[in-house]
Chains A and B, each alone.
Chain A
Amino acid sequence: MSIAFDDTALDRAFDVQGRSLWVDGRRRLFANRAAVASMIVLAAIALAAILAPLLSPYAYDSIDYSVISCAPDWWPGDAIACRAGGAHWFGTDAVGRDLFIRVLYGARVSLAVGIVATLVSLLIGVGYGALAGFAGRRVDAVMMRFVDVLYSLPYIFLVIVLMVIFNRNFYLTFVAIGAVEWLTMARIVRGETLSIRHKEFIEAARAAGVGRFATIGRHIIPNVVSPVVVYMSLTIPNVILAESFVSFLGLGIQEPLTSWGVLISQGADQMEAAPWMLMFPSLFMAATLFAFNFIGDGLRDALDPRDR
């Protein structure tokens, strides 16, 4: 005789509420003040970037030679203010374009690069890593050897080479950076896959006749999500940095479009006469990178309790 064990009755009797990893994780994340503050800052910057044209009367590429390199009205010191040309909250650049709107357009490019390139790296990295880890043995060895090889190239050099090849095409910039950033993701996913691929639930799935790729997609990848999410939040700032780096060297985005790297580079040239041109894009960029780092740390603490 077998006794049927009714879980639900037990749950009801003790009024037990199930808590998934994600519910727990969210609770822990929202208890982290630095992470919450970072999310607010980031949301504000993203919102401002999206609504940029509504926030300023100026266009990002309209040149006004009557207000070249003028300081914001409230700027202390003896720099020439912009009163003549109306309110320029962040001053203007060397050809009289409003810096406020340009910083926001820079935010658009930088954030878009960060997100799209990260998604590209996510697709390649997770697929590659899961495949290598699940295949194991020879295939795994060869696939990860290839990753090792690419690792030994300083990746910014690869980005630069790819930029030159793609003729500095704006959209391919995203792909180029993402195509180089997937290596660490692949390593992480492969490691996690290796650690779970002989677990009973995978064997059960295989025994029940689930195909190889379906097993990877339905059973392995969902179980490696938390390290992937954590690493993703750290990839975005890396990518933003890479794009700005390349733009700073003059190999990235082309005028009149702009990114924080270009603005910082222009600001650095004018630093003595017009420090605001360096200050505002740097501040925005630093705030964004900070925010992503704090969110990443918060996510790691929230989703990966082993580390605590």
Chain B
Amino acid sequence: MIRVELPAHLRSLAKVPGEVQLEVQRPVTQRSVLDSLEERYPILRGTIRDHVTLQRRPFLRFFACSEDWSHESPDAPLPEAVATGQEPLLIVGAIAGG
């Protein structure tokens, strides 16, 4: 079971109170996690990555096991601790704006 933490606004959109848990086939990658997340919560399509290009939105970052995975390949395997559900994949909004 994969654990994903979403920014507050996306939790509101998806109507989830806290951490999201997903079944994801291995290899567990950013792409496979986001595919699974969007399949379960279609309202999140386009909010984390662009609809057309599938590029990460620039004001969002992906963190796992205290490391920034934002610039890694979306097909790179995430750390084993994320794949086993010990650690969550954090989707973090930039601290910016008013």
Partners in one complex: no
- List chain A positions with a Cβ less than 8 A from chain B: none
